[in-house]
Amino acid sequence: MTDEFNTEIYYDDDADESHLETTTVAVLGYGSQGHAHAQNLDDSGVDVIVGLREDSSSRDAAEADGLEVATPVEAASRAEVVSVLVPDTVQPSVYADIESELDAGDTLQFAHGFNIHYNQIQPPEDVDVTMIAPKSPGHLVRRNYESGEGTPGLLAVYQDATGDAKERALAYAKGIGCTRAGVVETTFREETETDLFGEQAVLCGGIAELIKAGYDTLVDAGYSPEMAYFECLNEMKLIVDLMYEGGLGAMWDSVSDTAEYGGLSRGDAVIDDHARENMEEVLRQVQDGEFATEWVAENQANRPTYTQLRQAEKNHEIEDVGERLRALFAWAEEEETEDESVRMQADD
Ligand X SMILES: CC(C)(O)[C@@H](O)C(=O)O
Q: Binding site membership: which residues? A: 30-33, 53, 56, 58, 138, 195, 199, 231, 235, 256
Minimum Å gap between C-beta 210 and Mg ion is 18
Binder of ligand NAD out of 10, 26, 34, 42 (CB under 6 A): 34
Whether 112 is catalytic is yes
Q: Which helix (H) or strand (E) holds 193?
A: helix 188-197
Q: How many CA atoms within 13 Å lie on the side-chain side of 274?
A: 2
Q: Which is nearer to Mg ion, 197 or 215 (CB)?
A: 197
| Rg of the Cα atoms in the chain | 22
Strands annotated E in 148-202: 153-159, 183-185
Does 137 bind ligand X (CB under 6 A)? Our answer is yes
Q: How many other CB atoms are there within 10 angstroms of residue 279's CB atom?
A: 16
Q: What number of residues does the chain have?
A: 348
Binder of ligand X out of 199, 241, 294, 347 (CB under 6 A): 199
Q: Which is nearer to ligand X, 161 or 207 (CB)?
A: 207
Report the DSSP pairing between strands 153-159 and 128-134: antiparallel
Site string for Mg ion, 198-217 (x = CB under 5 A): -x------------------
Does 202 bind ligand X (CB under 6 A)? Our answer is no
Minimum Å gap between C-beta 85 and ligand NAD is 4
Torsion of CA 219, 225, 231, 234, to 10 degrees: 140
First-to-last alpha carbon distance for the chain, in angstroms, is 40
What number of chain residues touch ligand NAD (CB under 6 A)?
24
Binder of ligand NAD out of 30, 145, 158, 291 (CB under 6 A): 30
Given Mg ion, ligand NAD, ligand X, none, residue 204, with its beta carbon under 5 to 8 Å by kind, binds ligand X
Residues 6+ apart with CB under 8 A from 322: 229, 233, 234
Residues 6+ apart with CB under 8 A from 208: 313
Does 195 bind Mg ion (CB under 5 A)? Our answer is yes
Interface segment toward Mg ion; rule CB under 5 A; list 49-57, 75-83, 196-204, 216-224? 196-204
Catalytic residue, from 112, 117, 139, 316: name it.
112
Does 339 bind ligand X (CB under 6 A)? Our answer is no
Given Mg ion, ligand NAD, ligand X, none, residue 83, with its beta carbon under 5 to 8 Å by kind, binds none
Residues 6+ apart with CB under 8 A from 79: 23, 24, 25, 26, 49, 106
Q: List residues near ligand X by CB under 6 A.
A: 137, 195, 199, 203-204
Q: List residues near Mg ion by CB under 5 A.
A: 195, 199
